[in-house]
Each structure stands twice: as structure tokens, then as C-alpha cells.
């Protein structure tokens, strides 16, 4: 019989999940027999992926939170090569799996889950923690129906606010992200979390997402407009609270306090009581310290925070790691967002491609740029179509699509346009992104 791995007082068993930088294993305290989940993180991998700050942030955040509806961190242990996060074991799995296998919940069941979600999220807000990635995959439910919020790798604390008192990192999962986050003009963490809670409530009661489209541009347009169809079979109370939460205007959107006063929400509501307990963190893991705010991170020599879309695949079934420009873009479309007007975008892109000796044609609102290699054998021929889509009056998506031609020349063109328009590499999305959006979510 194979001997089980030991970690101090814990005996490690079967693998519960696996990500890009480690595994989550079932564990048992050999003294008490209590079950746990141990997240095993490979130090070399997180250094290679430049996500050390994300792991530090998750641990620092979980140290602050002791609530029945938040997955509990009991202790952090370490070896020379691994970090071990000893977490509460939730035996029911992800809410995603529950909805996918059993479909929508009744209003009674859904209300109870939503009450627990709001309890947990509002508690986080009271401790200055904004989750910023609330979605089905980051909500666990045990076999007694108790909800637990998990995965705080993208959370924000008060020190991450800029001088305007707002957060500015675009993060979250595409279908759950709030309009003001998409608009990229700064947002309130509590208000954007409320929106994500509304999306979760909708999915719980309807069995499908309120905003969904395989085309990312169309998806973001729907979110910006708050273009949602609320099922007629829901009670008037349920329809009303969903409508008040999924208000695209963050200024008039219902608050956490307002949700707790809503008649539909209050039915059978029994608030949970937070608990106090210290968390042991092994100093060998890494020292926990306050991180600089987001503006300081960009101005310092240290790596900036990774955009959330890169991280989606690290903790869920949705792997979007192929979105970004660091991948080979030679045979794909490229998309990026900009706050410049259509006129300015077209003029600046036309100047760039003309400088690179491309011929420019305008047709049906699109730019077609062509270069032939009749005179220069070392320069590859290429034909590319450029189109600008309006997401909102101050936000546009630019798409570059190669029709035919040399792959390296296309890559050169993309890099030049991104550079001339001062677009951060991580803002460039590959067209293949839409193909990773599951139909049933």
C-alpha cells in the first residue's frame, strides 16, 4: 500500500483540483480527523508567472476574514520549494457544478444562497476587502447548502485605491464584470461587487447568464447598456431586486444596505455572525506586507499586477491564457480597447501604416492596409483589415484581422500600432478568446 504524504500534523490524500502553479489536495488532521483542503503552490512557478504578489494578496486578505460564508484559511506552511495554504474543506464543490448539473434553483433555495452571498461579501467590504472576481466558480456550496466565497487572488484593499478614491485595474471575469469596470474610468469596489452578486443571483434563479455572447465586443456592449431580459416566471420581488442590482449606472445601483432592506431578500433572513481566530503563517512562505497602490506599482521597477483575464484559468475550468500578446499572434485577430475617438484612432493608425509603406484603403468604415514585396524581397507581403467598434461613447475596441500574407510582417504591424497608440501588451486580446467562452455559462 502506497504511503500517504505527510505535512506536519496533516495527512495528504486525493487531488481535488489542479492549476497552472500547483494542486489542491484533500487532507486530514491526524490528531482530530478533521478534513481540510491544502493548496500546494510551487514557488518557482509563481515566480516564473510573475504572480507572487497575487499569492501574497490572497493570503493577506484571507488573514483578515473570519466569516461562515468565506472559505477559512487556517494556516500557511512552507518548504524551500512549496507554499502550503491549509484551507477549510467544502465538500459540495463549486456552485458552477451545481447549476450545470441540476439547473436553476427554486426562489426559496436561490434566496437562501443569495442571502449567504450578500452576508459574506458585505462582511468583506466591512473589512475593507473588495473581491473583484465573484462568479460561479469562486463560490462553493457544502452538502448542507452552506455557501462559501473563495479565491481572493484579485481582491483589493484600501491601500490599492488611487488618489481619486477609486480602483482602476480592469479585472474580473467577462460575463460578471460591471459596466464601470469595462468602461475603464475608475470604479468603486463595493459597487462593482454588488453588480457581480446580481449576475450570480440571475444565474441561480434562471439557470443561465444575463449577459452572454461569444463575441467579446457584443458582450461588453450588452453589459455597458445593462441590456438584460429578466425571466417572466420569476416573482415580481425577484424581478425587482435583479433589476435594481443590474443597473448599469453605479450611482443609482442599489447598495448592500439597500439589498438587505429589500422585502424579497429579507424573507427568512438570519444574518451570520463573524468569528475571530488567528491565522498562523510560516515566515518561510514569504513575509506579508502592504503592497503599494496600483499607480505606484506601475511607476516602480517591480512587475505590475496581472490583468484578471490572464488569471481566470488559474482557478477555474476556464483557461483563457491564450488571450494575450505574449502568445504568437501571427495567425489570429488582435483586439484592444482605447478611449480615443474613432476619428483619432483611424488617423493615428493610418499614419503608422503609411510610415511602414502600406497602402491604405477605406471601405464601409474599415481600413484595409496592403503591402506588396515586389521591390523588397526581404519584406513580406501582407493584407490586414482594421475595424473600430463602439462599446460606449468613450470606449472603443479596435480589431486587426489578417486577411493573408506574411506572419512575421503581421506581428510587426501589430506591435507597431500597439506601441504608437500606447496600448499596454496585456490589454491586447486575441480573437480566440471568444472561442473559450462556454456556451452553457
> Among candidates 168, 16, 155, which has minimal Cα distance to 92?
16
Long-range contacts of 270-276 (CB under 8 A, 24+ apart): 271/119, 272/67, 272/68, 272/69, 272/116, 272/119, 272/120, 272/123, 273/68, 274/66, 274/67, 274/68, 274/123, 275/66, 275/67, 275/68, 276/66
Q: Respond yes or no: is residue 193 known to be catalytic.
A: no
CA 406 to chain centre: 34
Catalytic residue among 133, 151, 188, 193: 133
CA distance 271 to 125: 15
The response to whether 222 counts as a known ligand-binding position is no
Q: Is the dihedral of CA 339, 341, 345, 348 positive or negative?
A: negative
Contact 51, 305 (CB under 8 A): no
Helix %, strand %, coil % for the chain, to 5? 35, 20, 40
Q: How far is CA 337 from CA 55, 327, 391, in A?
A: 28, 18, 9
CA distance 252 to 366: 37
CA distance 167 to 158: 9
DSSP 99-141: HHHH-SPPHHHHHHHHHHHHHHHHHHHHTT-B----SGGGEEE
Long-range contacts of 364-371 (CB under 8 A, 24+ apart): 368/403, 369/413, 371/405, 371/409
Q: Is 268 exposed, middle or buried (0-12, 13-18, 19+ CB in 10 A)?
A: exposed
Opening angle at CA 121, ends 119 and 122, nearest 5: 65
366: three-class secondary structure by DSSP: strand
- Phi/psi of residue 193, each to 5°? -65, -35
Contact 252, 246 (CB under 8 A): no
Contact 99, 136 (CB under 8 A): yes
H helices of 334-381, where? 342-355
Contact 149, 158 (CB under 8 A): no
* Catalytically annotated residues: 133
As annotated, the binding site for ATP includes 39
Binding residues, by number, are 39
Amino acid at each position: 500500500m502506497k504511503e500517504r504524504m505527510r505535512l506536519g500534523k496533516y495527512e495528504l490524500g486525493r487531488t481535488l483540483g489542479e492549476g497552472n502553479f500547483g494542486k489542491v489536495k484533500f487532507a486530514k488532521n491526524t490528531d482530530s480527523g478533521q478534513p481540510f483542503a491544502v493548496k500546494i503552490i510551487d514557488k518557482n512557478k509563481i515566480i516564473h508567472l510573475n504572480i507572487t504578489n497575487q499569492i501574497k494578496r490572497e493570503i493577506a486578505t484571507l488573514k483578515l476574514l473570519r466569516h461562515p460564508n468565506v472559505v477559512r484559511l487556517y494556516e500557511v506552511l512552507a518548504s524551500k520549494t512549496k507554499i502550503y495554504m491549509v484551507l477549510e474543506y467544502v465538500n459540495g464543490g463549486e456552485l458552477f457544478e451545481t447549476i450545470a448539473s441540476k439547473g436553476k434553483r427554486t426562489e426559496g433555495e436561490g434566496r437562501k444562497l443569495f442571502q449567504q452571498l450578500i452576508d459574506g461579501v458585505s462582511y468583506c467590504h466591512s473589512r475593507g476587502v473588495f473581491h473583484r472576481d465573484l462568479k460561479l466558480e469562486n463560490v462553493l456550496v457544502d452538502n448542507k447548502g452552506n455557501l462559501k466565497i473563495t479565491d481572493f487572488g484579485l481582491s483589493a484593499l484600501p491601500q490599492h485605491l488611487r488618489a481619486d478614491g477609486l480602483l482602476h485595474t480592469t479585472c474580473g471575469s467577462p460575463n460578471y464584470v460591471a459596466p464601470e469596470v469595462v468602461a475603464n474610468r475608475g470604479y468603486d469596489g463595493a459597487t462593482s461587487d454588488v453588480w457581480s452578486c446580481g449576475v450570480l443571483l440571475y444565474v441561480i434563479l434562471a439557470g443561465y447568464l444575463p449577459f452572454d455572447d461569444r463575441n467579446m465586443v457584443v458582450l461588453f456592449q450588452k453589459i455597458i447598456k445593462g441590456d438584460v431580459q429578466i425571466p417572466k416566471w420569476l416573482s415580481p420581488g425577484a424581478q425587482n431586486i435583479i433589476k435594481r442590482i443590474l443597473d448599469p449606472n453605479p450611482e443609482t445601483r442599489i447598495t448592500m444596505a439597500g439589498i438587505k432592506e429589500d422585502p424579497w431578500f429579507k424573507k427568512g433572513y438570519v444574518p451570520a455572525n463573524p468569528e475571530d481566530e488567528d491565522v498562523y503563517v510560516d515566515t518561510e512562505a514569504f513575509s506579508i506586507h502592504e503592497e503599494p497602490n496600483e499607480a505606484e506599482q506601475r511607476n516602480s521597477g517591480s512587475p505590475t499586477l496581472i490583468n484578471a483575464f490572464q488569471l481566470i484559468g488559474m482557478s477555474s475550468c476556464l483557461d483563457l491564457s491564450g488571450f494575450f500578446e505574449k502568445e504568437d499572434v501571427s495567425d489570429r485577430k488582435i483586439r484592444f480597447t482605447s478611449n480615443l475617438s474613432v476619428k483619432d484612432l483611424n488617423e493615428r493608425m493610418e499614419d503608422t501604416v503609411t510610415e511602414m509603406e502600406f497602402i491604405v484603403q477605406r471601405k464601409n468604415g474599415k481600413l484595409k492596409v496592403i503591402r506588396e514585396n515586389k521591390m523588397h524581397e526581404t519584406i513580406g507581403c501582407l493584407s490586414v483589415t482594421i475595424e473600430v467598434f463602439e462599446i460606449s461613447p468613450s470606449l472603443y475596441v479596435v480589431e486587426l484581422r489578417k486577411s493573408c500574407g506574411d506572419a512575421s510582417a503581421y506581428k510587426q504591424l501589430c506591435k507597431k500600432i500597439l506601441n504608437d497608440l500606447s496600448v499596454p501588451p496585456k490589454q491586447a486580446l486575441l480573437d480566440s478568446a471568444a472561442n473559450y467562452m462556454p456556451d452553457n455559462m
